[in-house]
Structure 1
């Protein structure tokens, strides 16, 4: 009898060991499969305030929390960003509504998946005697033509009952050059994104208006249709992580993460302690009315030849 009992105990032990080994093997196979199926999302960011929530999502581990492998690449110019985007190196980018119209016009299938909170400020140099928007008629303004900068300036003028053609537009594509011209009194006005607008104001420039305060949010994030179709789940989770980063930023003292802001937006280090961020919104899509204004403007300017409608420009992949 003792022999039989020993044999039964051995069988139970062997059975238990086999079960443990099987579970471990299945778990290892499952982890390996998840690793193989994990798709990397590569996103190109322009150095600006819009980049802050994306970089914060990475630094705070929100992307990893959502099971994502995200690679963020920083660019100092739209030209370099576009070269990488169109060559297939990037799944998505931070850009603007005018740029997306241009992409679509050249058969590069890109869709807006969210709005960002980069702002544009119209600043007058301190020697120009310009005190308000009413004074800009006939004044010179440094812009980059047929871009979101010219579009925003035109719309800001129109919202203040000024015809865009009544402003003397001078083509200065490089943003740092616009700032220097403003500082050296070689131009009356410049429309600038952050951090250049803050630097201009620090030098005594006069703030005439903000695009955001006029309800204009032309800055966006976008992905290629190829990425939207192939990485749908990942893109949804990407924006969930973005929203968590926005919540953190809006509810945390900037002193806790100011070094990240300086790196992401390109502020000089001596601005530490003086930076004021916008109230970031959780991810949203631009309205059809807003997109129609952009389409109409780009068509009137002869920038695009294709007939576009708002739904051509957006995907609700991150909103549903």
Structure 2
């Protein structure tokens, strides 16, 4: 009897070991997403079923402004977003809340993300003409940071750089077009539209691309609880990025449909090239932190490891 019982248990163990295992239930990641070019790989991954391929569910929550995005993440109503290193730092000034886990977009020597333009008729033709001229920026963001760093690259002293806060891009464009702003920093594709409307391009972040990038950030609580889900999320975005870069114009209609480009540019603006996996370096982090502290936006040191997490990339 014992012999047969042992055989029965062996067969039962063997069958259970050979039985297909049920995949873990997919974790849902809620992404607060602005209608910006930086988000195209996330939308492509969603529409082409790549998140499901990597066993993760993604819910895209459309937002219309940075403050709305930040509020959703701070309240735990969204898990991920596209933002910038300074934004990550502001989230983490008391305790680590979010981590940058991947580049979203980066400037390169061939491709600009931001451009400084002068108003038509402002008699500003080159960067040197901006000394003492207030430049419209979004305060305490990558736009203000980048404006200062690009002017410094061109020999400006801190006391020669003046900025004025105009947070909303449409307002900045309107003031530039009317001449009430003599100069402004604008992201693409709005910089291209402003140029078409008569603004004078002066310089852009191709001068020093290492300063200019956006990141995908995720709540640290989600990373700690579900690291495999975040890895799947990033693997899907990586595959979507490869699809876009291989055939960019295939996605031009989606870019327009998602209102990532202004209507007047729908036919002419080309899909940009997106960066493959990577995160900001410690040097990039240190420079952004030094700027934020010098401006008085932060009053304490933060650590790279609290704010940037490279361990989740595929």
Tell me whether the two structures share a fold, i.e. TM-score over 0.5. yes
Q: Partners of 1:270 and 1:303 in 2: how far apart?
A: 37
Q: Where does residue 184 of structure 1 map in the other structure?
A: 178
Query: Is the Cα–Cα contact under 8 Å of residues 127 and 203 in structure 2 kept in the other structure?
Result: yes
- The within-5 A match list for 1:135-150 is 135-150=129-144
The one of 286, 290, 293 aligned to 1:296: 290
Matched, 1:152 2:140: no
**TM-score under structure 1 normalisation?**
0.84
Hey, what does 1:133 align to over in structure 2?
127
**Partner residue in 2 for 1:305:** 299
For residues 52 and 165 of structure 1, the distance between their equivalents in structure 2, rounded to whole angstroms, comes to 39
Q: What does 1:194-209 align with in structure 2 at a 5 Å threshold?
A: 194-209=188-203
- In structure 2, distance between residues paired with 1:265 and 1:230: 34
Distance 2:228 2:308 in 1: 17
Tell me by how many angstroms 1:283 deviates: 2.1
**3-state SS of 2:195 partner:** helix
| Separation in 1, partners of 2:259, 2:279 | 23
Q: Which one of the candidate residues 219, 223, 227 is aligned to 1:224?
A: 219
Is this contact kept in 2: 1:49–1:264, CA < 8 A? no
Q: Secondary structure at the match of 1:284?
A: coil
- Cα deviation for residue 264 of structure 1 reads 3.6
Correspondence for 2:75: 87
In structure 2, distance between residues paired with 1:122 and 1:263: 27
The DSSP-based 3-state class of the residue aligned with 1:181 is: helix
What is the alpha-carbon distance in structure 1 between the residues aligned to residue 139 and residue 129 of structure 2? 22
CA contact (8 A) 2:189 2:269 kept: no
Are 2:118 and 2:201, in contact at CA under 8 Å, matched by a contact in 1? yes
Superposed displacement of residue 196, structure 1? 1.9
| 2:90 is aligned with 1:102 | yes
The 3 A distance-change label for structure 1 pair 106 and 127 is farther
User: Could you tell me how far apart the structure 2 residues matched to 1:83 and 1:205 are?
Assistant: 34
Q: Deviations over 1:120-150 (max 9, x none)?
A: 2212222223222222112221122222221
Distance in 2 (CA, whole Å) between partners of 1:162 and 1:278 is 30
Q: Do the aligned residues in 1 keep the contact of 2:96 with 2:220 (CA within 8 Å)?
A: no
Tell me what 1:47 maps to.
35
Displacement of 1:253:
4.3
Partner in structure 2 of residue 236 of structure 1: 231
Shift of 1:285: 0.5
- SS at 1:305's partner residue? coil
Does the CA contact (< 8 Å) of 2:137 and 2:165 recur in 1? yes
Rounded to whole Å, the distance in 1 between the matches of 2:116 and 2:187 is 9
Pick the structure with greater CA Rg. 1
Q: How far apart are the structure 1 equivalents of 2:206 and 2:83?
A: 16
CA distance in 2, matches of 1:109, 1:74: 21
Aligned residue pairs: how many? 292
1:236-266: CA deviation from partner (whole Å, max 9, x where unpaired): 1211111111111112141x22221124453
Counterpart for residue 287 of structure 1: 281
**Conservation of the 8 A alpha-carbon contact between 2:96 and 2:306:** no
Q: Is the 8 A contact 1:195 1:265 kept in 2?
A: no
C-alpha deviation, 1:104, in angstroms: 0.7
CA distance in 2, matches of 1:213, 1:247: 26
Runs of 4 or more above 6 Å deviation = none
Q: Aligned to 1:167, which of 148, 161, 171? A: 161
Q: Determine helix, strand or coil for the equivalent of 1:135.
A: helix
3-state SS of paired residue (1:278): coil
Go from structure 1 to structure 2 and tell me whether the alpha carbon gap of 1:191 and 1:80 turns closer, same or farther (over 3 Å shift).
Answer: same
